[in-house]
Structures are given as C-alpha cells and as structure tokens.
Amino acid sequence: MKLTVWTYEGPPHVGAMRVATAMKGLHYVLHAPQGDTYADLLFTMIERRNHRPPVSYTTFEGRDLGADTAGIFKKTCMDAYERFKPQAMIVGASCTAELIQDDPGGLAETMGIPVPVIALELPSYQRKENFGTDETFYQIVKGLARPMDRTPEVTCNILGPLALGFRHRDDIEEVKALLWEMGIGVNVVAPFGATPMDITTLGQAHFNVAMYPEHCETACRHLERVCGQPFTRTVPIGVGATHDFVAEVAKLAGVEPRTDLSRLRQPWWSASVDSTYLTGKRVFVFGDATHVKAAARIARDEMGFEVVGLGCYNREFARDIRDLAKEFGLTALITDDYLEVEEAIAAAVPEMILGTQMERHIGKRLGIPCAVISAPVHVQDFPARYSPQMGWEGANVIFDTWIHPLVMGLEEHLLHMFRDDFEFHDEAGPSHHGGHAPVAMAEAGGFTPQTPESLPAKMNDAPEATGSDVMVWLADAEKELKKIPFFVRGKARRNTETFAASQGISQISVETLYEAKAHYAR
C-alpha cells in the first residue's frame, strides 16, 4: 500500500485507451465499474477530441458481483460490435474487473465475433499507464501484422504517437518532413490515425521509426524479429539529435542524409548576443525518459545551461536515465512521487525547471519558472497552433518555449540598473507575464510555499483601490465580499461600486452588493 496524492501515470488500461482512441476502426471493450468512465473526459476535455473514445465499459454494479458479470461483459461486447462494426476489437479488464477474474479474452473468444479480438492482460496492481500503451500496441501489432513483401520504393512506418501525447500530433508532421527530404515514403503511421487494416500492412515497410520508445519499443522489437525491420534509436528532439536522426535514417534506408536547414533558426537565436543571459542558467530536468534525455542534451549543448538535476518517472527507462545522469556528473532521480521531486528541486535550487505540469506547479510554489517538456499533459499542452518538439521546427519551438518563462535578457539587465524602480523590482517577475509572477526566492535558497490560488488572490485584491476612497464598504458587506471566490471578487467589487455610484449610494451594504449582482445578472 502506498499513499499517493498526485500521479504521473494513470492505470495501464488508460494506456490501452490512449492507443484505442488514437486509432480508427478499433473498439475497446473494458470490463469496469461505472466510475471508470471518467477516463473519457481526458480525451474529450484535455485533448478536445470531438468524438467519444471508442470504448464500451461494462459498468457492472455491486449487486451483479455474485451474479453474472461475465454475462454483462458478453452483452457489452456483442452490443459494441453490432453498433460500431469495428475492424478489430481489444478487450480487457480494469483494476476492479481484474479481481473478479472473468477472463474477458477467453469470453470474447467464445462469442464468434467475426473480426479479430485481441485480449489484453494489463496487471493493474503492478504496472502503469506507459506499460499499458506499449503492451497494447504490441498486442495489436502481434495480432495483426505479418511478414510481407517490401514496397518497391524505400518506405518506413512511424510508430509510437498516441492520443493524449505531448505534441504527438505535430511531431508526426516534422518526422514526415525529415523523411520526405530524404526521399523516404511513409507506409503507416501508428497508432495515431491508423486502422487495424493499416496495421496488417506494417510488414511492407523497410524499417521503423520509433518516435516514442515508451509507447512502441516492444512492438518495434517484435517487428524486427518477425518482419526483419530494423528500427531507429535516436529521437529527433533538438538540433543535435535531429542531425543524428537524419544520419541514422539515411544509413538504415541506404540514402544520402539530405535535409533542408532553411527552416532552422534555433542555433542563431541561441548564438545571438541577446541570449548571453542564458549562459549557465541552472536547470532541473524531470519528465518521461524520452523527453528528459532530449532536454538534458539541448539544455547543455544548445542553450548553454547547466543541468543541476535530472530524473524520470517511468521506471522502465531507469537504467538509461541513470547512465545519462552519470554523463552529467549527477545522480538520477527515479521516482513517481511528486513530493520527492519537489524536495529534490528545492534542494538543487535551480533557476529554471524543465518538467511536466506537476513540476510547473512545484515551480509555482517554489517561485521557480518552469517550461513544460513532457507528459502528463494538461489542456494547455494542446495548443491550436502548430507546435512540435521534433525536427527543425521543434528545435525553434523549444527555444521559444524555454526562454518564455525566464526574465528577458534586456529586462534582467535593467533589473540591475533600476533595482528599486517599482516596475522592475526583483519581485515583479517577468513583465511580459501578466498573471504568473513567480514568488521571489529567499536569499538563502529557502522558499515561501505558496499555493497557486493565493497568487492570483493577491493580484485580484491589490489594484482595487480606485474608487474605494469615495465609497464606504460597511463591515458586513466587506465580509460578504470576501466570501465570493477570489477570481470574481475584483469584478464584484467594481460592479457594486459602479452600481452604487449610479444609484447615489455612498455606503455599501450587503443589500447593495446583491442589488448590484441582480442588476448585472444576465
């Protein structure tokens, strides 16, 4: 038993959902209680998908337990097949169904469903989400892909991108562009956008690009064994890694390592004098192993930062990250306990964090700027604009994203010149960030813990002096105002005062407050 508050990874069946949701024509029947349907909102809200994930949940209840949960599973399976007519299905159990041991795979086999049904065994009490993605994709590939004749021209498969991935949507485009510049065609991209039918043709490609090893390594090894397809080991995030990737692919494909660098701006942006202030910035890197590996290298070699701590939460890649840390003269932090991460960051006193949404919040509490480099994701990690991490454009995007939370070079200079100026004083934070001024670090490296809520609360309350000097708030009304959530309190105060002024009221009572509220209601 382990006490957990916030987790980096969900359960393994959520990993399976990420694969199913990324694909088309595949349906997942999940033996699970009703509450597990919460997972749908990850896709429809965080990723803004306009379709429900292709998942049918059995939603068995307590009273079904002694009775026929297996029957409920079979009915759900049949209904799902009839309604959605998928090309293939995957079936499995969530943590609760695992305990009642109905064996969804075995049940589905007996039902005569006329499409391939792939059974998933995802041990919920041992493994986590990334195991679920990798294992599910492997099972689908193992079930559907067969050795085939190669395409006459050189092609490859792009494997690993998923639903709810950190910038997967845009990374695919960058990788395609890199391949296209070398004259290499794309056979199948999977799981993202692929149908089960597409999976059956994986064997035609000459080799595989493993975009995100945590989601596709087992499948790549399987294809290497069964279909004789080699796969790439370099993940093209960062300028150096992208060059290496081009070289690696050229070798696998037997072509010239041609690439078009005209879109790449990052090296000059980094070399130009304005970036001098980036030199030696102490950064702490934490996230999934793939992105941490890439970020550490970019931080040191392409930004001129000093990496003062690094680690990952997915233990499957602990060894890689330990090796990497050694190369940086550090000890890797391998943990999925965010409190440990927070402690390590506080101890390392970095000037910046490259992390996940979790570290962004840790950064807010510690007053350290943070740029997000990896999953777990948040609605902000799905921008409307094109925003890859991979390839040449990815390098540009990363440069912009990482310096955004930092005080601009010129501004930092001014900070020293005008130390006591009210606009530039140390605690004002970067002037281009209206809403998220970091809390100043105490000199000794300690910190003032502050919740995200308390920050905006202050900012909302501060600039309200205007108008209040002519208006008197009676104590009760003032108290009532405090009960209004901080994020609308400023507005409520202004509206009430405007209303009071228009009515010729100079003393604001609780009554006035609510009269005003009714007045502005719509």
Task: Please report, as residue ranges, which positions from 131 to 190 form the binding site for ligand SF4 (by CB under 6 A).
Answer: none
106 binds ligand SF4 (CB under 6 A): no
Residue 66 in contact with other proteins, rule: CB under 8 A: no
Which phi and psi angles does 196 have, rounded to 5°?
-55, -35
Q: Does 452 bind other proteins (CB under 8 A)?
A: yes
User: Is residue 453 involved in binding other proteins (CB under 8 A)?
Assistant: yes
- Using alpha carbons, list the distances in angstroms from residue 398 to 270, 282, 299, 328, 393: 11, 17, 10, 21, 9
Which residue blocks in 114-212 are alpha helix, DSSP H?
129-144, 168-181, 196-200
Instruction: Confirm whether 244 is a catalytic residue.
Output: no
Residue from 20, 22, 36, 163 in contact with other proteins (CB under 8 A): 36
Instruction: Pick left, alpha or beta for residue 330 (phi over 0 → left; psi -120 to 50 → alpha; otherwise beta).
Output: beta
C-alpha 83/C-alpha 99 separation (Å) is 28
Query: Are 89 and 113 contacting, i.e. CB atoms less than 8 angstroms apart?
Result: yes
62 binds, options other proteins, ligand SF4, none, Cβ within 5 to 8 A by partner type: other proteins
Taking the C-alpha atoms of residue 245 and residue 236, their distance in angstroms, rounded to an integer, is 6
Distance of closest approach, residue 195 Cβ to other proteins, in angstroms: 20
Q: What is the nearest approach in angstroms of ligand SF4 to the Cβ of residue 434?
A: 12
What DSSP element (H or E) covers 22? helix 12-22
Q: What is the C-alpha to C-alpha distance for residues 209 and 187, in angstroms, rounded to an integer?
A: 11
Which CB sits closer to other proteins, 34 or 507?
34
* Residue 129 within binding range of ligand SF4, rule CB under 6 A: no
Residue 11 or 394 with smaller CB distance to ligand SF4: 11
CB of 222 to other proteins, least distance (A): 26
Contact between 451 and other proteins (CB under 8 A)?
Answer: yes
Give the integer Cα–Cα distance in Å for 41 and 265: 37
- 421 by Cβ neighbours in 10 Å (0-12 / 13-18 / 19+) ranks as exposed
Q: How far is the C-alpha of 138 from the C-alpha of 63, rounded, in Å?
A: 36
- Confirm if 512 and 496 have CB atoms less than 8 A apart: yes
Site for other proteins in 134-193 (CB under 8 A): none
Of other proteins, ligand SF4, none, which one sits near residue 221, judging by CB under 5 to 8 A according to partner kind?
none
Beta strands 282-287 and 155-159: pairing type? Answer: unpaired
Q: Of the two residues 298 and 455, which places its CB atom closer to other proteins in the complex?
A: 455
Q: Which of 36, 214, 288, 342 binds ligand SF4 (CB under 6 A)?
A: 36
Query: Does 61 engage in binding with other proteins (CB under 8 A)?
Result: yes
Q: How many whole angstroms separate alpha carbon 350 and alpha carbon 303?
A: 15
Largest CA distance in the chain: 86
Identify the residue among 7, 96, 495, 498 touching ligand SF4 (CB under 6 A).
96
Q: How far is the first Cα of the chain from the last one, in angstroms, to the nearest whole number?
A: 50
- 485 binding ligand SF4? (CB under 6 A): no
In whole angstroms, give the CA distance from residue 168 to residue 211: 9
Shortest separation between residue 424's beta carbon and other proteins, angstroms: 30
Least distance in angstroms from the C-beta of 333 to other proteins? 20
Cβ 143 to ligand SF4, closest distance in Å? 27
SS3 172: helix
Q: Quick check: 10 binds other proteins (CB under 8 A)?
A: yes
Q: Which of 78, 95, 318, 441 binds other proteins (CB under 8 A)?
A: 95
Contact 42, 213 (CB under 8 A): no
Q: How far is the CB of 202 from other proteins (least distance, A)?
A: 30
Cβ at position 132, least distance to other proteins in Å? 11
In terms of phi and psi (left: phi > 0; alpha: psi -120 to 50; beta: otherwise), the region of 103 is left
**Nearest CB to other proteins, comparing residues 60 and 137:** 60
Contact between 452 and ligand SF4 by CB under 6 A: the answer reads yes
Catalytic residue from among 79, 260, 274, 400 = 274
Strand-pair partners of 117: 89
> How far apart are alpha carbons 161 and 31 in whole angstroms?
25
Q: Which is nearer to other proteins, 331 or 454 (CB)?
A: 454
Among 282, 433, 489, 517, binds other proteins (CB under 8 A): 517
Region of 31-39, 248-256, 389-397, 460-468 interacting with other proteins (CB under 8 A): 31-39
**DSSP bridge partners of 312:** 287, 334
**Residue 385 or residue 522: which is nearer to other proteins going by CB?**
522
CA atoms within 13 A on the CB side of 247: 7
Q: Which residues bind other proteins (CB under 8 A)?
A: 1-7, 9-11, 13-14, 33-42, 44-45, 48-52, 56-62, 64-65, 76, 79, 83, 94-96, 99-100, 123-126, 128, 357, 361, 364-365, 378, 451-453, 480, 483-484, 511, 514-515, 517-519, 521-522
Catalytic residues: 274
